[in-house]
Structure 1
Amino acid sequence: MQSINRLLSIADDRAGTKPTHVKQPGSRVVYVVDDDDMIRATLRDMLELNGFQVADYASSEDFLNVDHSAVDACLLVDAYLPGMDGLQLIETLNQRNQILPSIMITGRSDVAMAVTAMKVGAADFFEKPIAAPELLASIERVFERSKDANKAHAWHQSAMDHVAGLTLRQREIMDLVLAGHPSKNIAADLGISQRTVENHRAAVMKKTGSKSLPALARLALAAAEPTAR
């Protein structure tokens, strides 16, 4: 399946259409919040093709104006929205005690944002363009974890085992990388060469089985929390 940016060509023009509100109990619904009309349309097409019901919104404010408590759902939200951004939306839902499994997407490479998003409750984080199979797999995991606490515990335990296999220096460098520090600065702070930092970083990625920094962030947070999301 093509990546999201290539799928844009099949999306029909839905600019100006009102969001669709889904209220069928027992259905699996994905709420899409993104200010890009074409991205919303493309995500809707892909998700509906794979059996999900979809309700899409152009802003966090539009989303919050609708009751979402009656369905089995997850939230797919852009990190950088005008007005209330994706992070603020998740925090607002938490404050209202409306816990909704969330996946954050962004067009920017921002590891610090990924870590912050997952700390406030996002279950996953993707950079655009998004590979459709990976996004669908993540959405499936979100629904599975919401139904089966044992799977969440297993993910937590697996993440802890991976992190436990790192040396102290590797864990130190992992923490600095996930805090958004570039290798050059890490090398200067630790009094080691940049090449050594890069070697440790590569070892961390290999030992944890992480193919990207957002994936490493997911694993590190899962290992640190009592219950993985």
Structure 2
Amino acid sequence: MVEDDAHARQVLERVLQRDGQAVIGYASAEAFLEAYHAGEGNACLLVDAKLPGMDGFDLLARLRQAGDTLPAIMVTGLQDVGAAVRAMKSGASDFVEKPVRAATLRAAVDQAVAQSRDHGKLAAWRQKAADSLMGLTARQREVMTRVLAGEPSKNIAADLGISQRTVEAHRAEIMRRTGAKSLPALARLALTAEPVTS
């Protein structure tokens, strides 16, 4: 775990240790890289997006550039869709939103550790995400893409030649059909469903 706030690090460590997870905490990305040995099985990385020095995005990018496949979970600000999208594009397999809820954290870590053991589980997770987007119309997919890019409803409406109310109706229907409870959750689905490119 890489978290610069000592109190937050202790709280997260306690939550995971209660579930029997072995946790090693680091206060910076640099300290983590100094101690890390690639290829440690049945492990995952929990990293805060905002760190002093090298931030969480740069850390993930460095690991991926080195060919490291350690599953990583990024901790981002609540409703920060841009950070969530950037996290997954940097190589995070998932992200959790602050304030971090214990059940959400446990589920994300369990899934990441399972993926580190079995790449078939990652493929199944990607397929499940793709299936949840299958029911969207072409217009809903277009609206979803623009919403996740951070465009305001007013701009989307003007570009598509529809009313702002129609854009909002599409957004609500997208959330209903996909089962996403928040925009970051929708971003997670959309990015997980994207085909893997080498």
Following superposition, the deviation at residue 199 of structure 1 comes to: 0.7
Partner of 1:56, secondary structure, is: coil
Matches within 5 A, 1:11-30: none
Q: Secondary structure at the match of 1:68?
A: coil
CA deviations 1:90-123 (Å, max 9, x no partner) are 0111122222110001235321221121122101
1:143-222 map, 5 Å: 143-222=113-192
Match of 2:14 in 1: 45
1:105 aligned onto 2:75: yes
Q: Could you tell me how far 1:150 is from its partner in structure 2? A: 2.6
Amino acid across the alignment from 1:172: E
- Looking at secondary structure, tell me which structure has more helix per residue: 2
Range that drifts further, 198-207 or 115-124: 115-124
TM-score between both structures, scaled by the size of structure 1:
0.80
Residue-by-residue CA offset, 1:32-79 (whole Å, 9 max, x unaligned): 111111100101111111101111111111111113334531111111
Identity across matched positions, percent: 56
SS in 1 for 2:124: helix
Structure 1 runs (4+) deviating above 4 angstroms are none
Q: Distance in 2 between matches of 1:152 and 1:64?
A: 25
Number of equivalences: 196
The counterpart of 1:75, out of the listed 27, 36, 45, is 45
Whether 2:72 is the aligned partner of 1:123: answer no
Work out the CA distance in 2 between the residues paired with 1:152 and 1:99: 12
Partner Cα distance (1:211, 1:121) in 2: 23
Distance 2:141 2:124 in 1: 21
Residue 57 of structure 1 aligns to a residue whose secondary structure is coil
With 112-121 and 203-212 compared, the bigger mean Cα shift is at 112-121
After superposition, the C-alpha distances for 1:195-224 in whole angstroms (9 at most, x for unaligned) are: 111110111111111111121112111221
Q: Secondary structure at the match of 1:76?
A: strand
| Partners of 2:81 and 2:150 within 8 A in 1 | yes
1:153 positional shift: 2.2
1:187 Cα shift? 1.8
Which runs of no fewer than 5 residues in structure 2 stay unpaired?
Answer: none
Question: Rg bigger for which structure?
Answer: 1
Q: Distance in 1 between matches of 2:193 and 2:76?
A: 24
Structure 1 unaligned regions, length at least 5: 1-31
Counterpart of 1:88? Answer: 58
**Aligned partners of 2:47 and 2:12: how far apart in 1?**
11
